[in-house]
Amino acid sequence: MDAQANGRSVGRAEPSPGRRTEHDDARERILDAAEELFYGQGVQAVGMDAVRAASGVTMRRLYQHFPSKGDLVDAYLRRRDGRWRAGLADYVAGAADTPRDQLLAVFDWLGRWFAEPDFRGCAFVNSFGELGAVSPAVALAARHHKEEFNAYLAGLAEAADAPPALATQLALLAEGAMTTAAVHGDPSAAEDAREAARILLDAALATRG
């Protein structure tokens, strides 16, 4: 998705590479707390005081980093997007050698994610459902995340010499699996989606061949 926020303050000297400042540590603690609370309980259900308490920073420090809850939600979504997509890409790159198998490995990664004890579905769909109608920033973050995911699949499909439409079809399978796994609490939705993806992929490749 992203246009990821880089966390730099205008006019503030950058720390030496590899060094984390107290300022950076506080920001990360805030974002860690916000992610756990927003993802686990919902954005609207969590107030800034709950984030302050979970992060261990003062309210003054919290508002120095994030002047409003909207700023914090935006930063949470941006960081989660970058981490989610990087985790997916790293797994896929290491799990399979061919573009065809890498496309299927996407669903293997989803299955591992679905099986995590704190899995609550897609954070971007959840946030959009809560705030998309009233927060252009949240709606933009959700669209950006989905567009980047689709673009990633499109790159793998192109490398596999599959038709462009396949990426859209696989994205829909993945989105359906995310929702099904979240609603039913059943990670096997990824396996079902993977099998459907395999059928679509092999048919598309056979047509091209």
Rounded to an integer, the average pLDDT of 63-81 is 97
Average pLDDT over residues 51-77: 97
Give phi and psi for 68, each to the nearest 5. -145, 165
Fold observed for domain 12-67: Arc Repressor Mutant, subunit A (1.10.10)
Architecture of domain 73-208: Orthogonal Bundle (1.10)
17 pLDDT exceeds 60?
no
pLDDT tens, position by position, 102-126: 999 999 999 999 999 999 999 999 9
Q: What is the pLDDT of residues 143-167, one digit of tens each?
A: 999 999 999 999 999 999 999 999 9
Domain range annotation of the chain: 12-67, 73-208
* Spatial distance between the Cα atoms of 64 and 59, rounded to a whole number of angstroms: 9
Of the candidates 183, 169, 172, the one whose C-alpha atom is nearest the C-alpha of residue 114 is 183
Q: Is the pLDDT confidence value at 3 over 60?
A: no
In whole angstroms, give the CA distance from residue 104 to residue 113: 15
Task: List the structure tokens of 43.
Answer: 């954005």
Per-residue model confidence (pLDDT) at position 99: 94
Model confidence band, residue 97 (pLDDT cutoffs 50, 70, 90): very high
Residues 6+ apart with CB under 8 A from 3: 78, 144
